[in-house]
Structure 1
Amino acid sequence: MGSFKGHALPGTMFLLVGVWHIWCGVVRYVLNPMSFRVRFWNPVRGFDGKLRYLELYLVAVGSFIDMCIELLYSTHLKFFVNGVLNPSHMNDFEHSGMLLMFFVFGVVTLLSERTSVLPLPEGALCLIAATAFCAEYLLFYFHSTSHKGLEGYYHLLLVLLIGLCVLSTIAGALFPTSFPVDLCCGIAITLQGLWFYQTAFTLYGPMMPDGCRLKENTISCHSIDGQVRGELLANFQFFALVLGVLAAAVGTYCFDASRYGSSNRKCLHMVQDELDQN
């Protein structure tokens, strides 16, 4: 993933899933707060049910394609050297393992939802998703590629976001009726996708901080001051993304509440009036 595309591709998947999760969670809550349940995946309504499982296919197919790129294309099929795993492509093997976990989650969830072979409750699916995020967390925390300097700082912030994904998905299994938990999960996934994009544009794109450069797939800064400026810029970018996503989540809630919540409130008031009359 040490390239612009290597960060943008998984970032796109996380961003799409995260935004969709926020939207659907808010809509489900404003429609009926009393019966709200945490869902780690959300069906696409309409289209005669043809796109119902689009999110799960996006996760399964997207992770599978990315895994094939990491495992087959990036390694050039040179898996072993002198009887051991090729040390030049250990990071590709690690990325493949992480992507395999998300592929397994997508396939297991599809089997659970579309067939009677593996019926699982939503809490179990949340724990399987948490396992995939745990694999991602361990990958970036104990990476064979030693991320140092400015690159390491960007990956440290990424690890924090992945940790939030782990905690929120586990909390979804423990508190299945909590709207804040469901919303936190969507926000964490969205932020992870955006931070992948931010890392791509900063370290491998046009937003490289002054005094730092990319040379031979390594980020280096000319001085300590240059690295500190880069880390301060990363803090500002991180804060801006968090603030932007929170503002977008609040705006989504206000919009959905005005669009879907008014009719729901009228129904609740009618029911309450009938109960009072009786």
Structure 2
Amino acid sequence: MGDFRGHSLVGSAFLLYGLMWSIRYPMVYLRGAAHGRHWHRMDLVEGIFKFIFASIGAVMENFAPSIGPRFHLINPEDHSWVGLSGWLHTTMYIFFSLSGLVDILTYSPLKIPQGLDRLTLALAFSLEGLLMYNHVRSQQPLEGLLHAFVLVVACIGFFCLVAEIFMRGHIILELFRSILAILQGSWLWQIALAVHPLRGAPWDQKDRSNLEFVPICFSWHLAMAIIIVITNYSLVHCYVMKYKKSSATNKIEFQKLGSAPEELEIRLLEESDEEYPGRTNRQL
């Protein structure tokens, strides 16, 4: 994660989850619990993706060209620590992998208590914040400030997920988590472009104007995340309203079709009585 590829891949994963949550949760909220059961199965898909991605990331982090410890913690020659930066990123991946594993086990016969999935994800965010705090202290000024905002988002995400343990299905908390995921994803991309650009020179670490611009840039990322979530919610709302209107129209048409044969039979009998008024009496 200490290069452009690492930051961009993790950022893309957070962006994907944030965008998916910003569509899924409004759909469940607006269509109701009866239709939401189908969307709740997405937890299993999210868990599988999270577990696979985080597990692969933990392995790849150990073999990163510059910081990869290659599963060695202590140098046997001088007894010094090996690749602590790589182990830091590996540990974060491990906890998100555990969160994905709990998501998968939630749909197993083990009958895992409800809310444990939110708890493990909250622990993953808390550990990310703890490790990021120590990571910030060892960085240069600009890179440290950039990662400090990742620490802020991780801490807020932890408190949001803890609240979800006790208020599961709360649409405000779910939308807020979507905003945080999109924000963290886009900000990791910003770090990749600022510190590890593929083209051009990285931002000057000691330029004070760069340090002053970082909070402004973060605010823009936050505004963009809010706009994306509001836009997705509005689109989902329009779709659900159109779907409900179409369903109501189809229901009325089916009701008309169901009553049409009875009306037709009554009309034919009335016409038959008018044409042969004495038929009924003769039959009697």
User: Does the pair score TM above 0.5?
Assistant: yes
Aligned to 1:169: 161
TM-score of the two chains, using structure 1 as the length reference = 0.78
Q: Does 1:248 align with 2:228?
A: yes
Q: Distance in 1 between matches of 2:157 and 2:187?
A: 13
Q: Given the alignment of the two structures, is residue 56 of structure 1 paired with residue 42 of structure 2, yes or no? A: no
1:36 Cα deviation after fit: 10
Q: Cα–Cα, structure 1 residues 242 and 145, in superposed 2: closer, same or farther, change >3 Å?
A: closer
Please say if residues 29 and 179 of structure 1, whose CA atoms lie closer than 8 Å, have aligned partners that are also in contact. Answer: yes
Q: Distance in 2 between matches of 1:61 and 1:243?
A: 31
1: CA distance between counterparts of 2:74 and 2:83? 10
Question: Is the CA contact (8 Å cut-off) linking 1:91 and 1:144 kept in structure 2?
Answer: no
Separation of aligned partners in 1, 2:116 and 2:169: 15
Q: Which has the higher helix share?
A: 2
Counterpart for residue 111 of structure 1: 105
Query: What CA distance in whole angstroms lies between the structure 2 residues aligned with 1:85 and 1:132?
Result: 30
1:71 paired residue number: 62
Supply the distance in 2 between the matched residues of 1:137 and 1:111 (Cα, whole angstroms): 26
- Give the Cα–Cα distance (whole angstroms) in 2 for the partners of residues 86 and 7 of structure 1: 27
Say whether the 8 Å CA contact 1:63–1:102 is kept in structure 2.
Answer: yes
The structure whose Rg is larger is 2
Q: In 1, distance between residues paired with 2:157 and 2:35? A: 20
**Do structure 1's residue 120 and structure 2's residue 120 form an aligned pair?**
no
2:184 to 192, 197, 222: 192
Deviations 1:122-153 (A, max 9, x none): x2211111011111111101238702310111
DSSP 3-state at the match of 2:83 = helix
Number of residues paired by the alignment?
A: 243
With a CA cutoff of 8 Å and minimum separation of 6, indicate the structure with the bigger relative contact order.
1
Which ranges in structure 2 are unaligned for 5 or more consecutive residues?
252-284
Question: Which aligned segments of 4 or more residues in structure 1 are displaced greater than 4 angstroms?
Answer: 34-37, 83-86, 206-210, 262-268
Given the superposition, is the C-alpha separation of residues 176 and 78 from structure 1 closer, same or farther in structure 2, using an over 3 Å criterion? closer
Q: 2:84 aligns with which of 77, 85, 90?
A: 90
TM-fit CA distance, 1:43: 3.7
Aligned-pair distance for 1:63?
0.4
1:147-226 equivalences under 5 Å are 147-205=139-197, 206=199, 212=204, 220-221=205-206, 226=207
Deviation string, structure 1 residues 154-198 (Cα, Å, up to 9, x no partner)? 011111111121111111112224211111011111111111111
What amino acid sits opposite 1:63 in the alignment? A
- Supply the distance in 1 between the matched residues of 2:210 and 2:35 (Cα, whole angstroms): 43
Q: Displacement, 1:93? A: 1.1
Checking the alignment, whether the CA contact within 8 Å between 1:201 and 1:208 is kept in structure 2 is: no
For the structure 1 residues 151 and 110, does the alpha-carbon distance in structure 2 shift closer, same or farther, using more than 3 Å as the test? same
- Rounded Cα–Cα distance in structure 2 between residues aligned with 1:125 and 1:56: 9
Q: In the alignment, residue 20 of structure 1 is paired with which amino acid?
A: M
For residues 196 and 207 of structure 1, what CA distance do their matches in structure 2 show?
18
Is the 1:43–1:53 Cα contact (8 Å) retained in structure 2?
yes
Does 2:9 align with 1:13? no
Give the structure with the higher percent strand. Answer: 1
Q: Which of 129, 137, 157 does residue 137 from structure 1 map onto?
A: 129
Contact 1:7 1:199 in 2 (8 A): yes
SS of the aligned residue for 2:69 comes to coil
Deviation per residue, 1:202-244 (Å, 9 max, x gap): 111157676x1xxxxxxx33xxxx2x21122222221111111
Q: TM-score normalized by structure 2?
A: 0.76
Question: In the alignment, does 2:28 pair up with 1:28?
Answer: yes
- Of 131-140 and 235-244, more deviation after overlay is shown by 235-244
The separation in 1 between residues aligned to 2:152 and 2:133, in whole angstroms, is 10
CA distance in 1, matches of 2:187, 2:98: 24
